[in-house]
Amino acid sequence: MSQSRPVYLKLRDQIAAAIIEGVYPEGEMLPSVRALAAEQGANPLTVAKAYQQFQSDGLVEVQRGVGMYVVDGAAERLRERERKQFLSEEWPEIRARMDRLGVDLTGLLERG
């Protein structure tokens, strides 16, 4: 992951991981923008931008005056998106590095 990625994208990745891992379960409310900003040491506008992306993607639902909730199916949709991104973007780089270093996939799996 690039260090030059915008903060809101890094934060979005952290929130997505938390949804996938069940830290923020489906049907449950996400922390408020202010609460998450304070926890992460981030600007509330940055958190709001990350949350807006989840809302645009249909992964969270806003209940006016109450909060933002994780919708049913969000974890699986995020997991599938992460899986596709890994296989198309990250795995080829990892595989190329393994080849350069002479790391054998079968041997690596046997060690794990």
User: pLDDT (tens digit, 9 = 90+) per residue, 84-106?
Assistant: 999 999 999 999 999 999 988 88
Cα angle 18, 7, 27 (rounded to 5 degrees) comes to 25
Percent of the chain exceeding pLDDT 90 equals 80
C-alpha 61/C-alpha 48 separation (Å) is 14
Domain ranges of the chain: 7-111
List of residues 6+ apart from 49 with CB closer than 8 A: 8
C-alpha 61/C-alpha 59 separation (Å) is 7
CATH class of 7-111: mainly alpha
C-alpha 71/C-alpha 60 separation (Å) is 5
* pTM of the shown model: 0.82
Provide the residue-wise pLDDT of the chain in tens; the chain has 112 residues. 456 888 888 999 999 999 999 999 999 999 999 999 999 999 999 999 999 999 999 999 999 889 999 999 999 999 999 999 999 999 999 999 999 999 888 888 888 6
